[in-house]
Each structure stands twice: as C-alpha cells, then as structure tokens.
Amino acid sequence: KQEVTQIPAALSVPEGENLVLNCSFTDSAIYNLQWFRQDPGKGLTSLLLIQSSQREQTSGRLNASLDKSSGRSTLYIAASQPGDSATYLCAVPSGTSYDKVIFGPGTSLSVIP
C-alpha cells in the first residue's frame, strides 16, 4: 500500500531564503510524481510533474527532484516571496492502481516579508 509523507509539516522563513520541502513514498514503483500548491480554502494548482524516467523538473524558481530508488522527492524554492505562502502537496499514483493518486498531508509554508 502506497503511503506518502511530507516533512516538515509547517515551515516559516524570511523572504528571500531558499528552501527545500521533502516528500517520501513507500512504493518506489511509481509512474510519476506531482507537486501541487493549495491556497487556503482553494483547489489545487499543479506545479510540476516528474515522470519516473526523469530526475528533475524546473519551472521558474521551482525545482523538483525525484529519486525513485530511495522513495524521495524534494521541491526546491529559490528566493522565496510572500506570495509563495501556501500548502504544498506531493502526490504519486497508488501502487495498486495506476489511476488513483495518493497525496501527502502537505507542508504549510509561510514566507515572512
């Protein structure tokens, strides 16, 4: 059974800092991994999708890496801004079903001006 954890649960940093969010999953036989952003009371916005054959993906100030063998992914945010404040969720397909996605509990990020 696929399980996803995220560390830390919450993070508060001053504006301008670089930061790393961590995601771990128990079943390494994944097809892809997706990082999402969620603002309070809102839906999910897809940030990055990494296919299993890829090691990393970049979009602007965001860089996501994937190490399938160790069951880990990291989301690196460079030069953080107050507008980055949100909850960040990682998600992987379930080990028992390619189509069902399992989410981590999220990391709540607060960037202080």
Partner 1 sequence: DTGVSQDPRHKITKRGQNVTFRCDPISEHNRLYWYRQTLGQGPEFLTYFQNEAQLEKSRLLSDRFSAERPKGSFSTLEIQRTEQGDSAMYLCASSLFNTEAFFGQGTRLTVV
Residues near partner 1 (CB under 8 A):
4, 31, 34, 36, 41-46, 49, 89, 91, 93-94, 97-106
DSSP SS3 for 65: strand
18 vs 42 by CB, closer to partner 1: 42
Decide: 63 and 54 in contact? Cβ < 8 Å.
no
Quote the CA–CA distance of 14 and 97 in Å, as a whole number: 40
Quote the CA–CA distance of 76 and 62 in Å, as a whole number: 6
16 vs 91 by CB, closer to partner 1: 91
CB of 69 to partner 1, least distance (A): 22
Q: Give me the amino acid identity at 1.
A: K
Q: Give me the amino acid identity at 27.
A: D
Taken in order 48, 45, 61, 104, is the CA torsion positive or negative? negative
CB of 14 to partner 1, least distance (A): 25
11 vs 101 by CB, closer to partner 1: 101
99 vs 113 by CB, closer to partner 1: 99
CB of 16 to partner 1, least distance (A): 28
CB of 24 to partner 1, least distance (A): 13
